[in-house]
Structure 1
Amino acid sequence: MTPIPTRPAGDPDSVRAALSTLDQPLFVVRCDTGIAVTNDAAQARTAQVLAAVPPCRPESLGDDEFRHDHGVRLAYQAGAMANGISSARMVVSLARSGVLASFGAAGLLPDQVAEALAAIRRDAPGMPFACNLIHSPSEPALEQATVELCLRHEVRCVEASAFVRLTPAVVRYRVAGLSLHGGRVVAANKVIAKVSRAEIAELFLRPAPERMVRELVAEGAVTAEQAELARRVPMADDITAEADSGGHTDRRALVVLIPELVALRDRIQRELGYPRQVRVGAAGGIGTPSAAFAAFALGAAYVVTGSINQASVEASQSDTTKQLLADARSTDCEMAPSADMFEMGAQVQVLKRGTMFAARAKKLYEIYTGHAGIDTIPAAEREALEDRTFRRSLDDIWSDCVGYFRDRDPRQIDRAEHDPKRKMALIFRWYLGLSSAWSIAGEPGRLTDYQVWCGPAMGSFNTWVAGSYLAPVRNRFVADLSTHLMRGAAVTGRVAQLRVAGVRLPAAACTYLPTPLEKGT
């Protein structure tokens, strides 16, 4: 295809304005003054039309069923960030703007989760939202407690993350919401499973394990009728392909992961013939309009953002940490041991710039794998840990751990008292757990210990908004971020359509630039 000459009449700003008028068709025409890009249908009727693209509103991107089933305006989700960083305030703000958001319940005590869910239900009555349900192999009681709270507060969607296997808790949540209406199985409790591996995706693409369901029936957690209905529906309504993201991540490439999961979904759909197909969304690296459009172009039903929301006004993060995030580049991330799956060697992606957390956490894991317990650590190494990392004696830290788990999960203490390796893990997890709390609180003496979950999308977002009104943290309202990303994705889609038609527009005109939104937009 021969490219259409590109010296459009008018300056790049006028071309950009035409591209951004998303509710009208766009025409590239040859006129007396040369090549013009216009939304004027009358002008197009009297000129030679070289290319045309239809209206493309942000609401038309992604899967219609996602918007319908979740009752939202955009095929967009703000994913959960643990310890309540995805705050009730953030969830409410996005719910009111027609966007699905997931409350960051992971790492919180049940009373804190209950308080947040009640606040969301009060401040966004009847509006859709999700609650994070994180796999907790070290503390299964917390996973069970989260499900109990979601059922009690009638939370109709959970974002299941970091699962390495199905558990009775997540199966109970799904099956307890099943009913039969007009011969059709209705799943009142929706599950969005965030995965990065095909074998985990398959667990959620298939029905709940029958053995596990039978056990739930025996316990009275679900009914026999619901158990029978569970055979006819998958465990999840949506599968989020999690690529290179903040927090728990395998740093997968999105262009590989989405097609892989779509192909798996299609194979299982052919095998089982569900009445409705499970949707596949995209997360990880979504920080710019181009990234969002690329995900939709790969076939994603919806996109999920995470890291960029952590620096928003509504995020439960300290101003110090938000500024660290706003200064980050896409290369300022590093992998470090996770608190919740420390013994398993699981890692999370964190911010590297401005903090020493990653290096110190790696050292703790190195010591953990090399010693049988605290008492076997050489004296000099133990002294260095107490002076530089913990800043207290390890015996004092253990006393804190006992008090912490007495309320949270007393079984942890019993196990550790008879297992020196387990005791060492809990002591080390004290640091890993509190490091994120210090970041959230903005603890002034612990800046170099801040654990800030972050993926490369944060840096790409900062580059995109540099020089715009969204550069300062004080202007990063989370609803604005979703609006601009989706508007920009729609503009990027129009540019791509023109490019396929042979139109080559000036690069300066093709970049969507965020400008302040009018109230009510």
Structure 2
Amino acid sequence: MAALPPLYPEWLGDRIFTAKHGARFPYVVGEMARGLTTVRMVVEAVRAGCLAFYGSAGQSLAVVEQSILQIQSALDDHPHAWGCNLIHSPQEPQMEEQFVDLFLRYNVMRLSASAFMQLTPDVVRFAAKGMQRDASGAVRRARYLFPKISRPEVAKQFMSPPPEAMLRALQQAGQLTAEECDCAAQLPVAESITVEADSGGHTDNRTLTSLFPAVAALRDALAVEHGYAAPIHLGAAGGIGSPGAVAAAFALGAAYVMTGSINQSAVESGLSEAGRAMLAKADVADMAMAPASDMFEMGGQVQVLKRGALFPQRARQLYSLYQRYEGLDAIPAAERESLEKNLFRAPLEEIWGQTRDYFLTRNPQIAKSGEESPKVRMALVFRWYLSMSSRWAIEGIADRQADYQIWCGPVMGTFNRWVSGSVLEPLENRTVSQIAWNLLEGAAVISRAQQLRSMGVQVPDAAFNYRPRILQV
């Protein structure tokens, strides 16, 4: 009735993409902030044939520097198939500059840029640095940017050449050469755009089936408008936690897929054992939106685990107080006492003292603003709780388990249901390589079953239900 050639997991995505980035599989282990995507996870993922990004967001420059050195030492035979994360820092824009300086100094060739709503000079600087023309006159990149986007208008900025005024300002500041600026004006800021649907952490809660086609159509129009010679590869992220989801992403036209939430339950994750155990019990409805520490004043939110934790409602309580009152002293005595007893476990003035001391060394201007403005001081104190809650989850502080902030999307529940009763249900078997290989193998099996079905072959439903197993590739 039909004849089909072989279908290998390596062939599911765009082979130009995998060749360009030194990966065997069209699969990216995404960055998870505060080192949740650890050095160990990056190394193991790259050795398994994947591309991986270290979770540098929320880490100090010194920690990130040491982590880069460790990765470079461990992956001297795979120098290109990894990168770091650069997160937008609207409250501390100087941090973007300092991190880009660090990445350039250590010749990090790939960055996954997250939470950006518009281009910033330092993102453009990284993308353009080292560009030059070859003997034939074609522009060649030295570095690659992987922006994570959830809105077409943001994607358009990264899929277009950088604004001329921004390039010239960078040249005048001595941060780019004239040749680098001229080359950058011929290419999109990024050639790999990660289309991020509903996900853990910062998310717009979009669905992949609505967002991806919109960005793909925009990509095609911009390629014609600007006459790009090289393709812009679109990746799919958010909700990637089952073979069916991986197969669907490639069917939409994704060049690669990126996983995030599910890798937090892997043995190489930086999340504590207690946090990983909480994730392993999660179902698809066990998530909630909560105020974000880095965008608290602007009302930014992140998606987190709510099963077994009181963090979401406690964080929303803090934001409600921030909206209603002009400072800590304006909070009614009963509510303030409750905060000090249940959330902060210390007087609010003591928390402010700790926060002020922290910013005096990190960013004195923020400390000064807190001293001068009661409203700013209240926001900084509340952000202390939001920041510490993720640290407690990473460190596994037992008496703070109810306050754990664990970033994840509904896909964690999908993944748990898929691995239930299989070899990947026990946490000790959830390695980043086995997760990746099983998702890819399963996606290939499901894609092949669908190909047979499209040719008129009666395929049983069980053919679309790939079960995890221990794989060697």
In the alignment, the residues of structure 2 paired with residue 408 and residue 53 of structure 1 have an alpha-carbon distance, to the nearest angstrom, of 60
Take 2:338 and 2:381, find their aligned partners in 1: how far apart are those partners?
Answer: 15
Which structure 2 residue ranges, 5 or more long, are not aligned? none
1:65 has 2:16 as partner: yes
Match of 1:448 in 2: 402
Post-superposition shift, 1:175? 1.5
Correspondence for 1:224: 178
Give the letter aligned to residue 52 of structure 1. A
Mapped to 2, the partners of 1:70 and 1:419 lie a distance apart of 48
Question: Unpaired runs of 5+ in structure 1?
Answer: 1-49
Give a deviation string over 1:292-332, Cα, whole Å, max 9, x none. Answer: 00000011111110011000010101001101111111111
- The equivalences for 1:52-451 within 5 A come to 52-125=3-76, 126-182=79-135, 183-451=137-405
Q: Distance in 2 between matches of 1:373 and 1:330?
A: 38
2:439 pairs with one of 478, 485, 489: 485
> Equivalent of 1:461, from 415, 422, 441?
415
Q: Are the counterparts in 2 of residues 355 and 447 from structure 1 also a CA contact under 8 Å?
A: yes
- Distance apart, 1:370 and its partner CA: 1.4
Larger radius of gyration: 1
For residues 505 and 229 of structure 1, what CA distance do their matches in structure 2 show? 52
Contact 1:288–1:464 (CA<8 Å) still a contact in 2? yes
How far apart in 2 are the matches of 1:514 and 1:291? 15
How much does 1:65 deviate? Answer: 1.6
Q: 3-state SS of the aligned residue for 2:103?
A: helix
Contact 1:329–1:462 under 8 Å retained in 2: yes
Q: CA deviation at 1:509?
A: 4.0
In the comparison of the two structures, how many residue pairs are matched?
470
Letter in 1 for 2:432: V
TM-superposed deviation, 1:52: 2.5
Aligned residue identity for 1:67 = T
If the length of structure 2 is used for normalisation, what is the TM-score?
Answer: 0.97
Q: Does structure 2 conserve the Cα–Cα contact (< 8 Å) formed by 1:293 and 1:489?
A: yes
Mapped to 1, the partners of 2:142 and 2:362 lie a distance apart of 30
Deviation of residue 413 (structure 1)?
0.8
Distance 1:109 1:371 in 2: 32
Residue 127 of structure 1 and its aligned partner are, at CA, apart by 4.1
CA distance in 2 between counterparts of 1:86 and 1:463 reads 23
Shift of 1:168: 1.5
Alpha-carbon offset, residue 286 of structure 1: 0.4
Secondary structure at 1:141's aligned position in 2?
helix
> 3-state SS of the aligned residue for 2:185?
helix
Look up the equivalent residue of 2:209 and give its one-letter code. V
* Equivalent-residue separation in structure 2 for 1:474 and 1:331 (angstroms): 25
Q: Secondary structure at the match of 1:303?
A: strand
Equivalent AA in structure 2 for residue 176 of structure 1: K
The amino acid of 1:51's aligned partner reads A
Shift of 1:260: 0.3
Q: Supply the distance in 2 between the matched residues of 1:510 and 1:234 (Cα, whole angstroms).
A: 38
Supply the distance in 2 between the matched residues of 1:358 and 1:167 (Cα, whole angstroms): 31
Give the Cα–Cα distance (whole angstroms) in 2 for the partners of residues 95 and 409 of structure 1: 36
Q: Give the aligned partner of residue 47 of structure 1.
A: none
Give the whole-Å Cα distance in 2 for the aligned partners of 1:120 and 1:343. 36
Distance in structure 1 (CA, Å) of the matches to 2:123 and 2:389: 28
Quote the offset at 1:419 in angstroms.
Answer: 2.3
* Cα pair 1:204 1:236 within 8 Å, conserved: yes
Decide which moves more: 444-453 or 208-217: 208-217
- Find the aligned partners of 2:448 and 2:324 in 1 and give their Cα distance: 56
Name the Cα RMSD after superposition: 1.1
Residue 109 of structure 1 contacts residue 408 of structure 1 at CA under 8 Å; is this kept in 2? Answer: no
Identity level (%): 49
Q: Distance in 2 between matches of 1:504 and 1:425?
A: 61
Question: Separation in 2 of the partners of 1:170 and 1:408?
Answer: 22
Deviation at 1:214? 1.6
Partner of 1:9: none
Q: Is the 8 A contact 1:110 1:142 kept in 2?
A: no
* 1:166 partner amino acid: L
Distance in structure 2 (CA, Å) of the matches to 1:171 and 1:127? 20
Q: C-alpha offsets along residues 166-211 of structure 1, whole Å, 9 cap, x if unaligned?
A: 1121111112131221211111110011000011101101111222
Which residue of 1 is the match for residue 462 of structure 2? Answer: 508
- Tell me how far apart the structure 2 counterparts of residues 315 and 231 of structure 1 sit (CA, whole Å): 39
Give yes or no for contact 1:141–1:409 (8 Å, CA) kept in 2: no
What is the deviation of 1:514? 1.5
Q: Tell me the CA shift for residue 161 of structure 1.
A: 0.6
Q: Identify the range of structure 1 (398-407 vs 289-298) with the bigger mean alpha-carbon deviation.
A: 398-407
